[in-house]
Chain A
Amino acid sequence: GAVVSQHPSWVICKSGTSVKIECRSLDFQATTMFWYRQFPKQSLMLMATSNEGSKATYEQGVEKDKFLINHASLTLSTLTVTSAHPEDSSFYICSARDEASGSWNEQFFGPGTRLTVL
């Protein structure tokens, strides 16, 4: 199956700093990538849909100025958490669809990034 990577796998930062998380599709091109957040013992919550070459579509309640998304190429999307605060500590997961394959409707998930803001 298609492989999606994320970097870093975990990060600890001070309150007020910014953190960038990368999501890459390794063996396929993805015009659309998705960013999720998951708090402990809760399900995945879609934050935004990242579209290559255009602006991301944010879900209701997600601050686009705080969670900056850049999808500059068909294999890379980045999520930057700006001025991070302890309440932003969470597990951030990206996913992508291999729209050129027969299983285009399946979302392939990256391994996730655990962010801890002190």
Chain B
Amino acid sequence: GQNIDQPTEMTATEGAIVQINCTYQTSGFNGLFWYQQHAGEAPTFLSYNVLDGLEEKGRFSSFLSRSKGYSYLLLKELQMKDSASYLCAVYDSNYQLIWGAGTKLIIKP
């Protein structure tokens, strides 16, 4: 079956750095997405990785290792507004988006 694992919840301090991991097992791979979702709102796009390596975009970076079926989202200089759920999703061989359950990130002052 297809499976995406990410931690259920993480807590971090304002101004710090946090890394959210995602491991996946899918039938084929055509890219991995990270989305941010605030409570009661729709997801918003953060990043897309299809090749191995690190993609940096401002305070957020995303890393992919296809051989390990692993990705992480790195958030730097955490702000209170970063409190949200972070969803990992993978395109399988049919370009169907397989979603993880999301990681709820709690930022404390």
Contacts and interface: CB of A to CB of B under 8 A. Distances in A.
Nearest to A112: B42
Given A43-B101, A44-B87, A46-B97, A109 B42 contact: yes
Interface stretch (B21-29, B43-51, B55-63): B43-51
Q: How large is the interface on A (under 10, 10 to 19, 20 to 34, 35 or more residues)?
A: 10 to 19
Interface in B81-98: 87, 91, 95-97
12 contacts: A1-B45, A43-B87, A43-B99, A45-B99, A105-B31, A105-B48, A106-B33, A106-B45, A106-B48, A109-B44, A110-B42, A112-B41
Main secondary structure of the interface of B (DSSP, over half): loop
A101 B96 CA distance: 19
Interface of B: 30-31, 33, 35, 40-45, 48, 87, 91, 95-97, 99-102
Contacts, number: 42
Interface of A: 1, 34, 42-46, 91, 93, 103, 105-112, 114
Nearest to B8: A41
Contacts of A34: 97
B48 A42 contact: no
Nearest to B44: A109
B103 to A, nearest CB: 10
